[in-house]
A and B are shown apart, each in its own frame.
Chain A
Amino acid sequence: MSAVFGWLFVAAMAAVPVVFPDPYVLSVLTSAGIFIIGAISLNLLLGYTGQLSLGHAAFFGLGAYASALVSLGFDIGIGFGLRLRLDPQPVFVGFLAGIAVAGAFGWLLGRLAFRVRGAYFVVITICFAQVLRMVALNWVELTQGPMALIGIPPASLWLPGQGVVPLYTKPQSFWLVLGVGTLAFLLVRQVVQSRIGRALVALRENETLARSVGIRVTHYLVIATVLSAGIAGAAGSLFAHYVRIIDPDVFLFIYTVTMVIMVITGGKGTLWGPVVGGLIFGLMPDLLRGSAPPEAQWIAYGVLMILLVMFLPRGIVPAVAGLLPARRRPAPAIAAMVEPAP
């Protein structure tokens, strides 16, 4: 049932470019989709490990920069008169590089930050993104600093018989994001239903207990961070090749906050939470545009976030699911979505 519902949703989304070929609608949906992938990856940390990681924009930005730089090529001095040079690579190499670099930094941050918990952990993750922003801003030779990396090639796909096809058009970009998003969703579902997922939930619920029964807490946390960072890197890479310009502000705290709001609103620790929250917050700015100035919108998001945490702390998806079982007990579609792990 769950799978049927999920695939119906994917099919409905895939039909959008055919039914509404309006480029503006597609561009809004594509951007929303990219941030939903970011939110799905953040949910793995925030929802399933219970660690409030507020440096998520770091992985998103790293993926974006790595992917853009690999596909643009670079030639930089690395001290001692040595130079590091890379010729422009195909975009899919950049995409993989984006995932790898973000994943590697995920491992580094995991190793560093999971030495501490609570407030310290939160502050370290924030500082991590901040340092990366400073590097992107000032390592002009590599990143072009505030001038931004421009002219990033669009994503491309290898198709049998046609070779490498660049994805210029809005429907193509949209389908690509939908495809990657579906993969990310399935991967996260696989992870949370595996041994790793059970270990993560065990330590979220009671770390001391989990430790005492022999779960290697830091080990599993680092695995979750690497996975989460890798998916965020993939989202960042899609972003870079979609908007085709990247600047140091992708590391800003506000991007992390956007993803956090998506996860919290939809329901952290539920598979569909980030998707629902992401759709709401990805589409709202454009629906409200013209009727409310951006400042007023952000004020509304802030208020909504406060109200949700205070009165609906589990988010929309569990709340809606909570209403359904009253009809008839087996509502496995929703129940499976809500269940953090079997």
Chain B
Amino acid sequence: MLNRRTALLAGLALPALQRTAWAADPIKIGMTQPLTGAVAASGNYVANGAKIAVEVLNRAGGVLGRPLELILEDNKSNPREAVAAVDKLVLRDRVPVLIGAWSSTYTLAIMPKLLEYKVPMVVETSSASRITTSGNPYVFRIAPTSAMEAVAFSTQLGKFTPAMRKVDFLSVNNDFGRGAAEKFSEALAAKGVTIGRTETMTPEATDLSAQLAALKQSDADTIFLTTGVEQQTLALRQAVEQRLGKRFVTTGGSFPDALIANPLPAGNTSFHILFYAPWFPERAPYPAIAEAYTAEWNKNNWEFAGLTEGFRGYDAVLTVVEAIRLAGKPEAEAIREALWKVDIHGVNGDIRFAKEGPAGQESGQNQPNVAIVTLSEGKTGLL
């Protein structure tokens, strides 16, 4: 009798005790983003998206009965700092799962560390193909590759008038920019478009007159612009000054929101490939989720156009937390296993991972959705 009662009490008390221990001890999610430096605007948007996802989930009771804690580490728009950030997150904060690192260059730099520390990472933005094809089983990418983006874009070529005949590229000189130029060349060439020249710029360059002067000499009708929002803004403004008179299409899902408040002169329409168009949440695959995210963002009075990239952080946190729930415990290996089972609705659409890369050590890759937004005199439209 006594034995049974004690056992019963112990059985009741133990989980309760554990729960109190848990409540004081949140589950950590590590994230590294460029919060300062050349591509800081995008990094801050993504970080904000992740913050509100954590707030929303914590209000709903966290996961496994424990609250979530987002530990954010600045990678200063630099690949080496990205590695240092991951060292701190894993070795010091002991996070069981990571989200990062915006630019492909930073993500590629981090990847050997994931193998060394055996911690999975959800890649929210980076687009270079080799991130998921190099055989790193700790990488799970919810962002589209440049190749996916290019193919999805090329199916919408018919919407452009006059039609695209020849294209040039203006790319930031890193994996992101070069990869996009390569994959868009392939996809567009397959559709019969002539491929012209590629000009590159260093990530922190502000005066792009030399590159633009060279592109002006070309007979291409369209320029694909791949870089962070800061340089997108500079390039579009300086192109007007140099009278390029060509169509600009930005790739990668970033949006030069400064051009809404400070528009280009009339007659300059730019095109932007986005993965979430916040002006049209009803057109998102799951409008209710998109609207909830948008409402939460607006509560903080953040830059509206930042929603275009903030969703990456939001969706990444949803993905990670679902994996933790499925794993049943906040441990790196269990979360990695569970990420393969994730099947949820995010702002961008369905999130589930397909295997990519060499057999036995595949990385996960999600199939995302693409929208083309036009910007003219500070007003946006959907192409």
Contact = CB atoms under 8 A, between A and B. Distances in A.
Contacts of B174: 145-147
Interface string A259-299: 00000000000000000000000000010010000100000
Interface in B108-138: 108-109, 112
Nearest to B104: A147
A245 interface: yes
A294 B76 CA distance: 11
A138 B205 CA distance: 12
B357 interface: no
B202 A247 contact: no
Interface stretch (B80-88, B148-156, B188-196, B291-299): B80-88
Which one of A24, A147, A151 has the greatest number of beta carbons of chain B within 10 Å?
A147
B222 interface: no
Most buried by B among A137, A138, A247: A247
B44 interface: no
Given A146-B202, A150-B112, A243 B80 contact: yes
Given A243-B84, A249-B78, A147 B91 contact: no
A189 interface: no
Interface string B274-306: 000000000000000000000000000000000
B80 A247 contact: yes
A249 B80 contact: yes
A246 interface: yes
B201 to A, nearest CB: 10
A246 B80 contact: yes
B105 A148 contact: yes
B62 interface: no
Contacts of A137: 202
B105 A147 contact: yes
B268 to A, nearest CB: 29
Contact of A150 (B84, B88, B108, B202): B108
Nearest to B79: A148
A151 B112 contact: yes
A198 interface: no
A25 to B, nearest CB: 9
A23 interface: yes
Main secondary structure of the interface of B (DSSP, over half): helix
A258 interface: no
B112 A27 contact: no
Contacts of A151: 112
Chain A interface SS verdict (over half): helix
Contacts of B172: 146
Nearest to B37: A249
A294 B80 contact: no
Nearest to A31: B84
B367 interface: no
A246 B84 CA distance: 12
A145 B78 CA distance: 12
A341 to B, nearest CB: 37
Contacts of B58: none
Q: Chain A interface residue count: which class?
A: 20 to 34
B151 to A, nearest CB: 24
Given A150-B112, A243-B80, A140 B173 contact: yes
A24 B84 CA distance: 11
B55 to A, nearest CB: 21
A327 to B, nearest CB: 41
A204 interface: no
A39 to B, nearest CB: 19
The residue in B74, B80, B108, B174 that gathers the most chain A C-beta atoms within 10 A of its C-beta is B80
Tell me which of B79, B83, B84 has the highest count of chain A C-beta atoms within 10 A of its own C-beta. B79
B243 interface: no
Contact of A245 (B88, B109, B203): B109
B91 A27 contact: yes
Central interface residue in A148, A246, A286, by most chain B CB within 10 Å = A148
A140 B228 CA distance: 20
B173 A150 contact: no
A150 B78 contact: no
A146 B105 contact: yes
A148 B202 contact: no
A27 B202 contact: no
Nearest to B111: A150
Interface string A232-243: 000000000001
5 contacts: A24-B92, A138-B202, A145-B174, A148-B79, A148-B109
7 nearest CB pairs, A to B:
A24-B91, A148-B79, A24-B92, A146-B174, A245-B109, A23-B91, A147-B174
Given A146-B105, A245-B109, 15 more contacts: A24-B92, A137-B202, A140-B173, A146-B174, A147-B105, A147-B108, A147-B174, A147-B175, A148-B79, A150-B79, A150-B112, A243-B80, A245-B80, A249-B78, A289-B88
